[in-house]
Structure 1
Amino acid sequence: MTARPTQGKREEIIRAALREYRRNAISGTTLKDVARAAEMPLGNLYYYVKTREELILAVLDECAHDLQALLDRLSPLDDRAWLAAYLDWLLEDPAEASQLGCPFGALATELRALGDPAADRAAEIVEHYRQAVAQRTQALTGGDPDRVFLVVQGAYTVAKVLNDPVLYQRSIGQLRALLHPTSSR
Protein backbone atom coordinates (compact mmCIF):
# COMPACT_ATOMS: atom_id res chain seq x y z
CA MET A 1 0.00 0.00 0.00
CA THR A 2 1.30 3.45 -0.83
CA ALA A 3 1.99 6.00 1.87
CA ARG A 4 -1.19 7.77 2.86
CA PRO A 5 -1.15 11.51 2.26
CA THR A 6 -1.42 13.50 5.44
CA GLN A 7 -3.37 16.63 4.58
CA GLY A 8 -3.65 19.12 1.81
CA LYS A 9 -4.88 19.23 -1.71
CA ARG A 10 -4.20 15.59 -2.59
CA GLU A 11 -6.35 14.45 0.32
CA GLU A 12 -9.10 16.89 -0.72
CA ILE A 13 -8.97 15.42 -4.21
CA ILE A 14 -9.21 11.87 -2.90
CA ARG A 15 -12.15 12.76 -0.64
CA ALA A 16 -13.87 14.56 -3.53
CA ALA A 17 -13.34 11.52 -5.77
CA LEU A 18 -14.77 9.21 -3.11
CA ARG A 19 -17.88 11.40 -2.80
CA GLU A 20 -18.29 11.55 -6.58
CA TYR A 21 -17.73 7.80 -7.02
CA ARG A 22 -20.31 7.05 -4.35
CA ARG A 23 -22.85 9.52 -5.78
CA ASN A 24 -22.38 8.95 -9.50
CA ALA A 25 -20.45 5.69 -9.73
CA ILE A 26 -16.88 5.33 -10.90
CA SER A 27 -18.00 4.80 -14.47
CA GLY A 28 -20.07 7.98 -14.32
CA THR A 29 -17.29 10.16 -12.91
CA THR A 30 -14.56 11.79 -14.95
CA LEU A 31 -11.38 13.40 -13.68
CA LYS A 32 -12.98 16.69 -14.72
CA ASP A 33 -15.88 15.91 -12.34
CA VAL A 34 -13.41 15.21 -9.54
CA ALA A 35 -11.52 18.45 -10.23
CA ARG A 36 -14.80 20.40 -10.11
CA ALA A 37 -15.77 18.69 -6.83
CA ALA A 38 -12.33 19.50 -5.42
CA GLU A 39 -12.78 23.09 -6.59
CA MET A 40 -9.71 23.22 -8.82
CA PRO A 41 -8.93 23.38 -12.52
CA LEU A 42 -8.47 20.01 -14.20
CA GLY A 43 -4.86 20.87 -15.06
CA ASN A 44 -4.06 21.35 -11.36
CA LEU A 45 -5.54 17.95 -10.52
CA TYR A 46 -2.90 16.28 -12.70
CA TYR A 47 -0.20 17.72 -10.45
CA TYR A 48 -1.54 15.58 -7.59
CA VAL A 49 -2.96 12.57 -9.46
CA LYS A 50 -1.59 11.48 -12.82
CA THR A 51 -4.20 8.94 -13.93
CA ARG A 52 -7.70 7.68 -13.24
CA GLU A 53 -6.19 4.37 -12.10
CA GLU A 54 -3.92 6.14 -9.59
CA LEU A 55 -6.92 8.04 -8.24
CA ILE A 56 -9.01 4.87 -7.86
CA LEU A 57 -6.20 3.18 -5.93
CA ALA A 58 -5.80 6.27 -3.74
CA VAL A 59 -9.55 6.23 -3.02
CA LEU A 60 -9.34 2.55 -2.09
CA ASP A 61 -6.41 3.32 0.23
CA GLU A 62 -8.58 6.01 1.83
CA CYS A 63 -11.42 3.49 2.24
CA ALA A 64 -9.02 1.01 3.85
CA HIS A 65 -7.78 3.75 6.17
CA ASP A 66 -11.33 4.79 7.11
CA LEU A 67 -12.29 1.19 7.82
CA GLN A 68 -9.20 0.60 9.93
CA ALA A 69 -9.82 3.82 11.87
CA LEU A 70 -13.34 2.60 12.68
CA LEU A 71 -12.11 -0.83 13.73
CA ASP A 72 -9.34 0.69 15.86
CA ARG A 73 -11.84 2.99 17.57
CA LEU A 74 -14.13 0.05 18.39
CA SER A 75 -11.43 -2.51 19.24
CA PRO A 76 -11.19 -1.87 23.01
CA LEU A 77 -14.89 -2.65 23.48
CA ASP A 78 -16.32 -6.01 24.52
CA ASP A 79 -18.43 -7.78 21.88
CA ARG A 80 -21.83 -6.34 22.94
CA ALA A 81 -20.49 -2.80 23.26
CA TRP A 82 -18.65 -3.28 19.95
CA LEU A 83 -21.88 -4.28 18.20
CA ALA A 84 -23.77 -1.35 19.77
CA ALA A 85 -21.11 1.14 18.63
CA TYR A 86 -20.96 -0.47 15.16
CA LEU A 87 -24.75 -0.22 14.79
CA ASP A 88 -24.61 3.42 15.91
CA TRP A 89 -21.98 4.05 13.21
CA LEU A 90 -24.20 2.40 10.59
CA LEU A 91 -27.07 4.67 11.60
CA GLU A 92 -25.12 7.95 11.59
CA ASP A 93 -26.65 8.94 8.25
CA PRO A 94 -29.39 6.55 7.10
CA ALA A 95 -30.35 8.80 4.18
CA GLU A 96 -26.79 8.63 2.82
CA ALA A 97 -26.66 4.88 3.40
CA SER A 98 -29.92 4.33 1.54
CA GLN A 99 -28.84 6.55 -1.35
CA LEU A 100 -25.21 5.47 -1.71
CA GLY A 101 -24.95 1.98 -0.23
CA CYS A 102 -22.02 0.53 1.66
CA PRO A 103 -19.01 2.84 1.52
CA PHE A 104 -16.76 -0.15 0.81
CA GLY A 105 -18.98 -2.67 -0.94
CA ALA A 106 -20.50 -0.31 -3.50
CA LEU A 107 -17.11 0.61 -4.95
CA ALA A 108 -15.94 -3.01 -4.87
CA THR A 109 -19.07 -4.17 -6.66
CA GLU A 110 -18.71 -1.61 -9.42
CA LEU A 111 -14.99 -2.24 -9.91
CA ARG A 112 -15.68 -5.98 -10.24
CA ALA A 113 -18.50 -5.34 -12.73
CA LEU A 114 -16.21 -3.09 -14.77
CA GLY A 115 -13.45 -5.70 -14.77
CA ASP A 116 -11.15 -3.06 -13.32
CA PRO A 117 -7.81 -4.38 -12.02
CA ALA A 118 -8.43 -2.46 -8.78
CA ALA A 119 -11.35 -4.82 -8.04
CA ASP A 120 -9.03 -7.22 -6.23
CA ARG A 121 -7.79 -4.44 -3.94
CA ALA A 122 -11.39 -3.41 -3.24
CA ALA A 123 -12.30 -7.03 -2.49
CA GLU A 124 -9.46 -7.20 0.05
CA ILE A 125 -10.98 -4.25 1.89
CA VAL A 126 -14.45 -5.83 1.91
CA GLU A 127 -13.00 -9.14 3.11
CA HIS A 128 -11.15 -7.37 5.93
CA TYR A 129 -14.42 -5.66 6.87
CA ARG A 130 -16.35 -8.97 6.74
CA GLN A 131 -13.80 -10.79 8.89
CA ALA A 132 -13.68 -7.99 11.46
CA VAL A 133 -17.47 -7.95 11.84
CA ALA A 134 -17.63 -11.76 11.93
CA GLN A 135 -14.95 -12.02 14.59
CA ARG A 136 -16.70 -9.56 16.90
CA THR A 137 -20.29 -10.77 16.38
CA GLN A 138 -20.03 -14.55 16.03
CA ALA A 139 -20.69 -15.24 19.71
CA LEU A 140 -23.75 -12.97 19.63
CA THR A 141 -25.29 -14.65 16.58
CA GLY A 142 -25.42 -18.23 17.73
CA GLY A 143 -22.22 -19.08 15.91
CA ASP A 144 -23.09 -17.70 12.46
CA PRO A 145 -20.04 -15.52 11.76
CA ASP A 146 -21.52 -13.72 8.74
CA ARG A 147 -25.05 -13.04 9.98
CA VAL A 148 -24.54 -9.40 10.96
CA PHE A 149 -22.38 -8.56 7.96
CA LEU A 150 -24.83 -10.07 5.48
CA VAL A 151 -27.84 -8.37 7.08
CA VAL A 152 -26.00 -5.04 6.92
CA GLN A 153 -25.03 -5.55 3.27
CA GLY A 154 -28.57 -6.60 2.41
CA ALA A 155 -29.95 -3.53 4.16
CA TYR A 156 -27.56 -1.28 2.24
CA THR A 157 -28.45 -2.90 -1.08
CA VAL A 158 -32.24 -3.04 -0.79
CA ALA A 159 -32.49 0.41 0.81
CA LYS A 160 -30.37 1.82 -2.02
CA VAL A 161 -32.50 0.17 -4.71
CA LEU A 162 -35.68 1.47 -3.07
CA ASN A 163 -34.08 4.73 -1.81
CA ASP A 164 -35.69 4.00 1.54
CA PRO A 165 -33.82 5.21 4.64
CA VAL A 166 -36.60 3.91 6.92
CA LEU A 167 -36.13 0.37 5.61
CA TYR A 168 -32.39 0.72 6.22
CA GLN A 169 -32.94 2.02 9.76
CA ARG A 170 -35.43 -0.75 10.52
CA SER A 171 -33.08 -3.46 9.22
CA ILE A 172 -30.13 -2.20 11.24
CA GLY A 173 -32.39 -1.65 14.24
CA GLN A 174 -33.43 -5.32 14.14
CA LEU A 175 -29.80 -6.25 14.74
CA ARG A 176 -30.09 -4.53 18.13
CA ALA A 177 -32.02 -7.62 19.24
CA LEU A 178 -28.65 -9.38 19.34
CA LEU A 179 -27.72 -7.08 22.22
CA HIS A 180 -30.71 -8.22 24.28
CA PRO A 181 -31.34 -11.91 23.57
CA THR A 182 -34.58 -13.39 24.84
CA SER A 183 -34.97 -16.77 26.47
CA SER A 184 -37.29 -17.93 23.66
CA ARG A 185 -34.45 -18.00 21.19
Structure 2
Amino acid sequence: MTDSEKGARRAPRKRERLAAAAARVLHEQGVEKTTLADIAREADVPVGNVYYYFKTKNDLVEAAIDTHAQNLSEAIAALDALPTPGERLKALITGWVEQRDTTVRFGCPTGTLASELDKRSDGLDTTVAAVMRVLIDWAERQFAELGRSDARELAVALIAAYQGISVLTNTLRDPEVMTTEGRRLERWIDSLA
Protein backbone atom coordinates (compact mmCIF):
# COMPACT_ATOMS: atom_id res chain seq x y z
CA MET A 1 0.00 0.00 0.00
CA THR A 2 1.40 3.40 -0.95
CA ASP A 3 1.51 6.38 1.40
CA SER A 4 -1.22 8.10 -0.62
CA GLU A 5 -3.46 5.02 -0.29
CA LYS A 6 -2.86 5.01 3.47
CA GLY A 7 -3.70 8.70 3.61
CA ALA A 8 -6.87 8.12 1.60
CA ARG A 9 -7.95 5.48 4.11
CA ARG A 10 -7.35 7.81 7.06
CA ALA A 11 -8.99 10.83 5.45
CA PRO A 12 -12.62 9.65 5.61
CA ARG A 13 -12.20 8.58 9.22
CA LYS A 14 -10.84 11.99 10.21
CA ARG A 15 -13.61 13.74 8.26
CA GLU A 16 -16.22 11.50 9.92
CA ARG A 17 -14.69 12.19 13.34
CA LEU A 18 -14.90 15.91 12.69
CA ALA A 19 -18.53 15.63 11.53
CA ALA A 20 -19.50 13.55 14.57
CA ALA A 21 -17.65 15.95 16.87
CA ALA A 22 -19.43 18.87 15.22
CA ALA A 23 -22.80 17.22 15.85
CA ARG A 24 -21.96 16.71 19.55
CA VAL A 25 -20.43 20.13 20.19
CA LEU A 26 -23.11 22.01 18.27
CA HIS A 27 -25.75 20.17 20.30
CA GLU A 28 -24.05 21.03 23.57
CA GLN A 29 -22.98 24.61 22.83
CA GLY A 30 -25.07 25.79 19.90
CA VAL A 31 -23.88 27.06 16.55
CA GLU A 32 -23.01 30.60 17.54
CA LYS A 33 -20.92 29.66 20.59
CA THR A 34 -19.06 26.82 18.90
CA THR A 35 -15.70 27.48 17.29
CA LEU A 36 -13.78 25.35 14.84
CA ALA A 37 -11.19 24.91 17.60
CA ASP A 38 -13.89 23.43 19.87
CA ILE A 39 -14.78 20.88 17.21
CA ALA A 40 -11.14 20.08 16.42
CA ARG A 41 -10.44 19.51 20.12
CA GLU A 42 -13.46 17.20 20.46
CA ALA A 43 -12.37 15.24 17.36
CA ASP A 44 -8.73 15.16 18.53
CA VAL A 45 -7.62 16.76 15.27
CA PRO A 46 -5.25 19.74 14.95
CA VAL A 47 -7.33 22.83 14.25
CA GLY A 48 -5.38 23.54 11.06
CA ASN A 49 -6.48 20.19 9.67
CA VAL A 50 -10.14 21.16 9.95
CA TYR A 51 -9.77 23.48 6.97
CA TYR A 52 -8.53 20.60 4.83
CA TYR A 53 -11.93 18.91 5.21
CA PHE A 54 -14.26 21.86 5.82
CA LYS A 55 -13.64 25.29 4.35
CA THR A 56 -16.15 27.11 6.54
CA LYS A 57 -18.01 26.70 9.77
CA ASN A 58 -21.21 26.32 7.74
CA ASP A 59 -19.63 23.33 6.00
CA LEU A 60 -19.12 21.77 9.42
CA VAL A 61 -22.68 22.56 10.44
CA GLU A 62 -23.88 20.87 7.26
CA ALA A 63 -21.69 17.85 8.09
CA ALA A 64 -23.27 17.76 11.55
CA ILE A 65 -26.72 17.76 9.94
CA ASP A 66 -25.58 14.88 7.72
CA THR A 67 -24.48 13.04 10.87
CA HIS A 68 -27.97 13.57 12.35
CA ALA A 69 -29.46 12.23 9.11
CA GLN A 70 -27.21 9.17 9.19
CA ASN A 71 -28.04 8.51 12.86
CA LEU A 72 -31.74 8.81 12.05
CA SER A 73 -31.37 6.44 9.10
CA GLU A 74 -29.69 3.86 11.34
CA ALA A 75 -32.38 4.25 14.01
CA ILE A 76 -35.14 3.85 11.42
CA ALA A 77 -33.48 0.71 10.04
CA ALA A 78 -33.42 -0.78 13.55
CA LEU A 79 -37.05 0.22 14.17
CA ASP A 80 -38.13 -1.24 10.84
CA ALA A 81 -36.87 -4.64 12.01
CA LEU A 82 -39.70 -4.74 14.56
CA PRO A 83 -42.77 -6.69 13.43
CA THR A 84 -45.64 -4.18 13.80
CA PRO A 85 -46.06 -0.45 13.29
CA GLY A 86 -47.31 -0.03 16.87
CA GLU A 87 -44.18 -1.69 18.20
CA ARG A 88 -42.01 0.46 15.94
CA LEU A 89 -43.68 3.70 17.08
CA LYS A 90 -43.47 2.73 20.75
CA ALA A 91 -39.82 1.74 20.34
CA LEU A 92 -39.17 5.21 18.89
CA ILE A 93 -40.73 6.73 21.98
CA THR A 94 -38.70 4.43 24.24
CA GLY A 95 -35.55 5.64 22.50
CA TRP A 96 -36.52 9.23 23.19
CA VAL A 97 -37.17 8.45 26.85
CA GLU A 98 -33.83 6.66 27.15
CA GLN A 99 -32.13 9.90 26.03
CA ARG A 100 -33.89 11.99 28.68
CA ASP A 101 -30.73 12.84 30.65
CA THR A 102 -29.11 14.28 27.53
CA THR A 103 -32.35 16.09 26.72
CA VAL A 104 -32.36 17.60 30.22
CA ARG A 105 -28.97 19.14 29.56
CA PHE A 106 -29.14 20.07 25.88
CA GLY A 107 -32.60 19.43 24.38
CA CYS A 108 -33.27 17.40 21.24
CA PRO A 109 -30.17 17.33 19.01
CA THR A 110 -32.02 17.93 15.75
CA GLY A 111 -34.77 20.12 17.19
CA THR A 112 -32.44 22.54 18.95
CA LEU A 113 -30.26 22.78 15.85
CA ALA A 114 -33.34 23.41 13.69
CA SER A 115 -34.52 26.19 16.02
CA GLU A 116 -31.13 27.85 15.98
CA LEU A 117 -30.64 27.57 12.23
CA ASP A 118 -34.11 28.97 11.56
CA LYS A 119 -32.85 32.33 12.82
CA ARG A 120 -30.20 32.46 10.09
CA SER A 121 -30.48 33.13 6.37
CA ASP A 122 -27.85 30.75 4.99
CA GLY A 123 -30.14 27.91 3.83
CA LEU A 124 -29.06 25.43 6.49
CA ASP A 125 -32.54 25.68 7.99
CA THR A 126 -33.96 23.86 4.98
CA THR A 127 -31.21 21.24 5.19
CA VAL A 128 -32.07 20.37 8.79
CA ALA A 129 -35.80 20.54 7.98
CA ALA A 130 -35.25 17.72 5.49
CA VAL A 131 -33.95 15.52 8.33
CA MET A 132 -37.02 16.29 10.41
CA ARG A 133 -39.22 15.53 7.40
CA VAL A 134 -37.65 12.05 7.10
CA LEU A 135 -38.83 11.23 10.63
CA ILE A 136 -42.31 12.61 9.99
CA ASP A 137 -42.56 10.62 6.75
CA TRP A 138 -41.45 7.44 8.54
CA ALA A 139 -44.02 7.98 11.31
CA GLU A 140 -46.70 8.63 8.68
CA ARG A 141 -45.94 5.25 7.08
CA GLN A 142 -46.34 3.57 10.48
CA PHE A 143 -49.72 5.20 11.11
CA ALA A 144 -50.83 4.35 7.56
CA GLU A 145 -49.85 0.74 8.18
CA LEU A 146 -52.09 0.89 11.26
CA GLY A 147 -54.90 1.67 8.83
CA ARG A 148 -55.23 5.33 9.75
CA SER A 149 -56.52 7.66 7.04
CA ASP A 150 -55.21 10.58 9.11
CA ALA A 151 -51.66 9.18 9.14
CA ARG A 152 -49.93 12.45 8.19
CA GLU A 153 -51.70 14.43 10.90
CA LEU A 154 -50.89 11.77 13.50
CA ALA A 155 -47.24 11.72 12.42
CA VAL A 156 -46.95 15.49 12.75
CA ALA A 157 -48.71 15.33 16.14
CA LEU A 158 -46.28 12.67 17.40
CA ILE A 159 -43.15 14.53 16.32
CA ALA A 160 -44.56 17.85 17.55
CA ALA A 161 -45.36 16.25 20.92
CA TYR A 162 -41.80 14.95 21.20
CA GLN A 163 -40.31 18.33 20.32
CA GLY A 164 -42.52 20.02 22.91
CA ILE A 165 -41.66 17.41 25.52
CA SER A 166 -37.96 17.92 24.73
CA VAL A 167 -38.24 21.67 25.22
CA LEU A 168 -40.05 21.22 28.55
CA THR A 169 -37.67 18.50 29.74
CA ASN A 170 -34.74 20.78 28.94
CA THR A 171 -36.29 23.98 30.28
CA LEU A 172 -37.49 22.42 33.53
CA ARG A 173 -34.35 20.26 33.83
CA ASP A 174 -36.65 17.38 34.74
CA PRO A 175 -36.15 13.96 33.11
CA GLU A 176 -39.47 12.76 34.57
CA VAL A 177 -41.28 15.04 32.14
CA MET A 178 -39.92 12.90 29.29
CA THR A 179 -40.67 9.66 31.15
CA THR A 180 -44.27 10.61 31.98
CA GLU A 181 -45.05 12.01 28.57
CA GLY A 182 -43.39 9.03 26.89
CA ARG A 183 -45.80 6.71 28.72
CA ARG A 184 -48.71 8.93 27.67
CA LEU A 185 -47.61 8.76 24.03
CA GLU A 186 -47.35 4.97 24.24
CA ARG A 187 -50.93 4.79 25.55
CA TRP A 188 -51.98 7.09 22.72
CA ILE A 189 -50.36 4.77 20.16
CA ASP A 190 -52.18 1.81 21.73
CA SER A 191 -55.50 3.68 21.51
CA LEU A 192 -55.03 4.25 17.78
CA ALA A 193 -54.53 0.60 16.85
Coarse TM-score class (shorter-chain normalised): 0.7 to 0.9
Larger mean Cα displacement after TM superposition, 59-68 or 20-29: 59-68
1:121 aligns with 2:127: yes
1:46 — aligned with what?
A: 51
The 8 Å contact of residues 22 and 64 in structure 2, kept in 1 or not, is answered as yes
Distance of 1:81 and 1:167 partners within structure 2: 22
8 Å contact 1:14–1:55 — kept in the other structure? Answer: yes
Asked whether the equivalents of residues 140 and 179 of structure 1 are also in contact (C-alpha less than 8 Å), the reply is no
> Which residue among 2, 5, 13 is the counterpart of 1:8?
13
Q: Equivalents in 1 of 2:135, 2:176: separation in Å?
A: 24
Which segments of 5 or more consecutive residues in structure 2 lack a partner in the other structure? 1-9
Shift in alpha-carbon separation, 1:6–1:155, aligned structure 2, 3 A: farther
CA RMSD in angstroms, aligned pairs only: 2.3
* 1:107 aligned partner: 113
The structure with more helix, counted as a fraction of residues: 2
Alpha carbons of structure 1 residues 75 and 34: separation in structure 2 relative to 1, 3 Å: same
- Provide the C-alpha distance between the structure 2 equivalents of 1:57 and 1:114, rounded to a whole number of angstroms: 14
TM-score, normalized by length of structure 1?
0.85
CA distance in structure 2 between the partners assigned to 1:6 and 1:97 by the alignment: 32
Give the one of 7, 22, 25 matched to 1:20: 25
Structure-2 separation of matches of 1:47 and 1:111: 24
Instruction: Output the CA distance in 2 between the equivalents of 1:173 and 1:141.
Output: 21
Any stretches of 5+ residues in structure 1 without a counterpart? none
- Name the CA shift for 1:141/1:95 in 2 (closer, same or farther; >3 Å): farther
One-letter amino acid matched to 2:77: D
Please give the alpha-carbon distance, in whole angstroms, between the structure 2 residues aligned to 1:159 and 1:110.
Answer: 18
Deviation at 1:50, TM superposition (A): 2.1
Supply the AA of the counterpart residue of 1:93: Q
The runs of at least 4 consecutive aligned structure 1 residues that moved more than 4 Å come to 138-142
Partner of 1:151: 161
Which position in structure 1 is the counterpart of 2:6? none
Alignment partner of 1:90 is 2:100: no
**Cα distance in 2 between the residues matched to 1:62 and 1:6:** 17
Structure-2-length-normalised TM-score: 0.82
Tell which structure's C-alpha radius of gyration is larger: 2
Which of 24, 29, 38 pairs up with 1:33?
A: 38
Quote the sequence identity (%): 26
Q: 1:121 to 1:165 in 2, by over 3 A?
A: same
8 A contact 2:22–2:63 mirrored in 1: no
How many Å separate the matches in 2 of 1:6 and 1:31?
18
Aligned mates of 1:161, 1:82 — CA distance in 2: 28
Cα offset, 1:7, TM superposition: 5.3
Give the paired residue count. Answer: 178
Provide the rounded CA distance (Å) in 1 between the counterparts of 2:56 and 2:71.
23
1:113 CA displacement: 1.1
> Distance between the aligned counterparts of 1:31 and 1:108, measured in 2?
20
